[in-house]
A = this chain, B = another copy of it.
Amino acid sequence: MPELRSLEIFYWVAQLRSFRGAAERLNTTQPAVSQRIAALEAELGVRLLDRGARSVVTTAQGRRLLDYAERMLRLRAEMLEAIAGAEAVGGVLRLGVAETIVHTWLSRFIERAHALFPAVTLDIEVDVTPNLRTGLVGHTLDLAFLMGPVAEPSIANLPLCRYPLAFAASPRLPLGPGPVTIDALLGWPIITYPRSTRPTMELLAALRMPGAAAPRLFASTSLATILRMARDGIGISVIPPVVAARELADGTLCLVATDITPPAVAFTASWPTGPEEGLARRLAELAQSVAAAAGHA
């Protein structure tokens, strides 16, 4: 009689197409996974996985079992929540967060998450959106707050908040009063997110005027670094004003009025769907309400 543990191990091997990956995912060793899979195949008298040289693929029977395994694991998760309640939902949830969120409502989210799920440990990893996306599809993250949505079939998305971008510069920069033209703007380096991110790509497209010089870009994955460079007068930053509230308040940075409106950045909570998505989904919904309460919806 197959036990749930075996089905869970099979589920992750099939999902990740890797014994090793499943072992890491389940905090065990790779031979242990091998043994359980072998035992499961023997128990059912059926070959479940084709071990290729550098790939593991499910057989037809394996795919059928995968479907059942997912349903059973889902049922167990639902059962645990129904019986033991949210307080008992435990374990580690690996959360990836884009830096912008860190500077806005992440700490409030952590507080409320801890209050709702005291037995859950959040492993937080701050990184840029493309890396977070990779982490989600590779199942090394259970949930991420990133510039979304993530357009993958196995990833679910929930919109969190939109931040309009704005130009902000040190008041020492001789920009003069009144709206700044694009030409004047392009005389300074643009300090913002890396080129690989969507808002920066859109910004560059908006700034690229025929005949004008290409904008100089000072990109950084670190918001703190962007702000620091802007305060130092190195150039003009493009950021959501909300992450620079302190600098704007104490006058070390000023918003720059221009005749172009930079794009807005939209964030989503995104997670890989699966039998254990319950906690991720609940936390995503919590994040949504926290973001809304923070007035950034």
Q: Which residues of A contact B (CB under 8 A)?
A: 1-5, 44-46, 61, 64-65, 68, 71-72, 75-76, 78-80, 82-84, 88
Question: Can you list the 4 inter-chain pairs with the closest CB atoms, starting with the nearest?
Answer: A68-B79, A44-B84, A3-B3, A65-B83
Which B residues touch A88, using CB under 8 A?
A: 44-45
CA distance A79 to B66 in the complex (A): 10
Residue of B nearest to A48 (CB): B83
Additional A-B contact list (20), CB under 8 Å, known A3-B5, A71-B75: A1-B4, A1-B5, A1-B76, A2-B4, A2-B76, A2-B80, A3-B4, A4-B4, A44-B80, A44-B83, A44-B88, A45-B88, A46-B83, A61-B83, A64-B82, A68-B78, A72-B72, A72-B75, A72-B76, A75-B75
User: What's the minimum C-beta distance from A22 to chain B, rounded to whole angstroms?
Assistant: 16
User: What's the minimum C-beta distance from A157 to chain B, rounded to whole angstroms?
Assistant: 29
Contacts A3-B3, A5-B1, A5-B3 given; does A72 touch B64 at CB 8 Å = no
Q: Which of B3, B68, B72, B82 is A82 in contact with, Cβ under 8 Å?
A: B68
CA distance A61 to B65 in the complex (A): 30
29 contacts between A and B (CB under 8 A): A1-B4, A1-B5, A1-B76, A2-B4, A2-B76, A2-B79, A3-B4, A3-B5, A4-B4, A44-B80, A44-B83, A44-B84, A44-B88, A45-B84, A45-B88, A46-B83, A46-B84, A61-B83, A64-B82, A65-B79, A65-B83, A68-B75, A68-B78, A68-B79, A68-B82, A68-B83, A72-B75, A72-B79, A75-B75
